Structure 1
């Protein structure tokens, strides 16, 4: 059961896991059938992480399931499928986006890296790309702004269903031809996919290059600071450090190699300053802390902290950082877009 996705960067083919994910695959296929995804932007592209699309509004807050298009707002989302468990183990997987309430609409993402295990149990893998992986590489190399939105518009142009094993729901209205782009899409357009960067009004190619280099330098500097703060705490725990370093290597920033260079006396000095709440927090952190390429997005999975302790732990983290680097670290935590079992 396959679908060809035609994009402004090229075409790729998705083989769907229809046996393991029947609800999600039916929703995806029917949305393709009514050309719902035509002209959708890849509105978020994070290098070596994910490329997200499926929102007609192009901002990551829109979209609805096929049932929402048929039956209205009350059917906008449907329950996720988490059994059997399929992990985000490699590049080129296709996964439905969790809306925050363990439900799905129309948005999905493509994995741009391997071993993204911090996505497991949150988003639902529904298929894999079997042809056109070079398009994924092009996506991964695209230039983006500070919100991960590509400077060049990258859009889905068309979807072609090769095989659909599911019956159409009542009332499904299939267009007799591919629709034309709505005016709102044209008005929202940034730089066209085939345009040259030095065609930007008021900016030369050299200026664009300098801006990109400056942004990369700032990102690397911030990551280095954040990594330095993190390694203070995790170096004393060999098992956790190994997992932490493996996660950080996914970002492929050379500055992250410094995680293994800290001197023993520096480690011991900082450990001696820890307050009990921070130590409890760090020992309770489960699996991963992930820093994004640009704005240090943090994902924290806490599974062993008792509910009644969470508020005072968070207050300790927020109000009592021991060093300047820790202040940076915890400020990034406070801006995180996703917390599991942690109440602000």
Structure 2
């Protein structure tokens, strides 16, 4: 377990800012709907885990994905061990929602994505743990989806991030 994690799950709403190289994105994370997921994200953020990582996958009219220390979609871990189980709730997979990226059921680690698609991604409901929503900075999410990228949807110039816990 990382330093600073006492095993206690968070409750309520937590505000965090993703300070990216393209601008700031402020999120409200809902620990009442996804307590393990929000706890995992906050504890990793407080430990500086996300600082300096990149949005390694950027797909216009879909989403931006980050949180992988390998920077290629293959890495990451959780404060609960290598992975932890899904926390599927009634949070709709709509524009601005932050959710956990995974390799299948119950394989959540540190990677996350923010939905950019105007009509959301209803086909992902029940497959990914949604745990919050963008409160400010959707224009930055839109801007990130417009960066030049390679055929594998990796930005040609790194879009870095740092996570600041607001409350």
TM-score (norm 1): 0.43
Say if 2:83 and 2:106, in contact at 8 Å, map to a contact too: no
Aligned to 2:149: 144
Secondary structure at 2:17 match in 1: strand
* 2:141 paired with 1:128: no
Q: Which runs of 5+ in 2 are unaligned?
A: 1-13
Structure 1 gaps, min length 5: 68-74, 164-344
Match of 1:51 among 64, 67, 77: 64
1:39 Cα offset (Å):
1.1
Q: Deviations over 1:50-103 (max 9, x none)?
A: 111000110100000023xxxxxxx21111101x322212x2110011232322
Does residue 81 (structure 1) correspond to residue 71 (structure 2)? The answer is: no
Q: Structure 2: how far apart are the matches of 1:115 and 1:129?
A: 13
CA distance in 1, matches of 2:146, 2:96: 14
C-alpha separation in 2, matches of 1:161 and 1:41: 18
Please list the CA deviations of residues 265-311 of structure 1 after superposition, one character each: whole Å capped at 9, or x if unmatched.
Answer: xxxxxxxxxxxxxxxxxxxxxxxxxxxxxxxxxxxxxxxxxxxxxxx
Q: Does the Cα contact within 8 Å between 2:65 and 2:112 map onto a contact in 1?
A: yes
Which has the larger strand fraction? 2
What is the aligned residue count?
Answer: 153
Paired residues of 1:102 and 1:122 also in contact (CA < 8 A): no
2:7 aligns with none
Within 5 Å, which residues of 2 pair with 1:108-119? 108-113=112-117, 114-119=119-124
Spell out, residue by residue over 1:156-208, the C-alpha distance to the aligned partner (whole angstroms, 9 max, x if none): 1x211112xxxxxxxxxxxxxxxxxxxxxxxxxxxxxxxxxxxxxxxxxxxxx
Q: Is residue 19 from structure 1 mapped to residue 23 from structure 2 by the alignment?
A: no
Larger radius of gyration, structure 1 or 2? 1
- Aligned-partner SS, 1:57: coil
2:102 and 2:55 mapped to 1: Cα distance? 17
User: Which of the residues 90, 93, 98 maps onto 1:94?
Assistant: 98
Q: Which residue of structure 2 lines up, in the alignment, with residue 285 of structure 1?
A: none
Residue 115 of structure 1 and its aligned partner are, at CA, apart by 2.7
1:161 maps to what in 2? 165
Find the aligned partners of 2:114 and 2:137 in 1 and give their Cα distance: 12
Give 3-state SS (helix, strand or coil) of 2:143's partner: helix
Shift of 1:41: 1.2
Q: TM-score, normalised by structure 2?
A: 0.87
C-alpha RMSD over aligned residues = 1.1
Counterpart-to-counterpart distance in 2, 1:160 and 1:87: 25
Of 18, 26, 34, the residue aligned with 2:47 is 34
Deviation at 1:26, TM superposition (A): 0.5
Alpha carbons 1:99, 1:105 under 8 Å: kept: no
